[in-house]
Amino acid sequence: MGESNLLRLLACFFFATLTVCGTFIAFRLPFMASHIPPLPGAEEIIRAGGVIFGSYRYSLQLPAVWLSGIALGPFWGAVSQGMFLLLGLFFLPVFIDGGGLDYLHQPAFGYLLSLLPAAWLVGKLRGGGGFKRSWLAIVVAQIFVNLLGSLGAAFHQGFEPLLWLSQFRMASQLLPGQLFLITAISGFAASFDFLRTAFSPKVKA
């Protein structure tokens, strides 16, 4: 194995570890929904015209996934999340409710499975970087996570189209709060791109 590949694998392990840490670190984000969603620590703040504005506890797991795609690119970002999944399924209790192969039969497994392609999507779609491309890449990846996660939960309950649409609608109602975080991460990514370009060695013609 070449030195460059070894360094990439170490970077992947770092971001897998970052995803583990993010799973157990949470802060509050706002939601807008027709009812209080079944989310950790969901609380109503104000109700207006049948719409509830509130907040819930949001873990830093997904931001770690986005950062892995930004920093490592599509392939190695996906590898880092593959490491995270393998750690949880075969070795350590790194998922929010533990770990082990039993997780394959849990409603949340579709969500966990979506993390690997989500990292790939962020790395692939942001291309040359910058704020706008990073923002759009993360939004697309987040919609994909909502889609696959809601499909997994619906299949666990006996798949019905209306049930899946209900699950997807509920997940999509969380996007307003997530967009705030996506904007912050995209700004960080754009700053990282600028500094990397500014301080990278100039190749003489």
Buried b (16+ CB within 10 A) or exposed e, 12-46: beebbbbbbebbeebeebebebeeeeebeebeeee
Confidence at residue 159, expressed as pLDDT on a 0 to 100 scale: 66
Task: Check residue 164 and give its pLDDT.
Answer: 66
Does residue 35 fall inside a structural domain? Answer: no
Q: Is the pTM of this model over 0.75?
A: yes
Higher pLDDT, 188 or 50: 188
- Give the best-scoring range by mean pLDDT among 78-82, 94-98, 104-108, 189-193: 78-82
Model confidence band, residue 1 (pLDDT cutoffs 50, 70, 90):
low
Number of structural domains found in the chain: 1
Residue 30 maps to a domain: no
* pLDDT mean over 41-50: 86
Q: Where are the beta strands (DSSP E) in the chain?
A: 26-33, 43-48, 51-59
| Residue 74 falls inside a structural domain | yes
Nearest to 52 by CA among 139, 143, 174: 174
Establish if 53 belongs to a structural domain.
Answer: no
User: Residue 113's domain is classified under what CATH number?
Assistant: 1.10.1760.20
Q: End-to-end CA distance of the chain, in Å? A: 32
Asked, for residue 45, whether it belongs to a domain, the answer is no
Cβ neighbours of 83 (radius 10 Å): 21
Asked if the model's pLDDT at residue 202 lies above 70, the reply is no
Task: Transcribe 109-147 into DSSP letters.
Answer: HHHHHHHHHHHHHHHHHTTT--HHHHHHHHHHHHHHHHH
* Residue 139 lies inside a defined structural domain of this protein: yes
pLDDT at res. 203: 53
pLDDT above 70 for 144: yes
- Tens digit of each residue's pLDDT (9 = 90 or more) over 8-41: 999 999 999 999 999 999 988 888 777 776 676 7
**What's the whole-number mean pLDDT along residues 161-190?**
80
Q: Tell me the C-alpha distance between 163 and 154, whole Å.
A: 6
Coil/strand/helix, residue 93: coil
Domain-embedded: residue 87: yes
Residue 204 lies in a domain: no
Domain interval for residue 194: 3-25+60-199
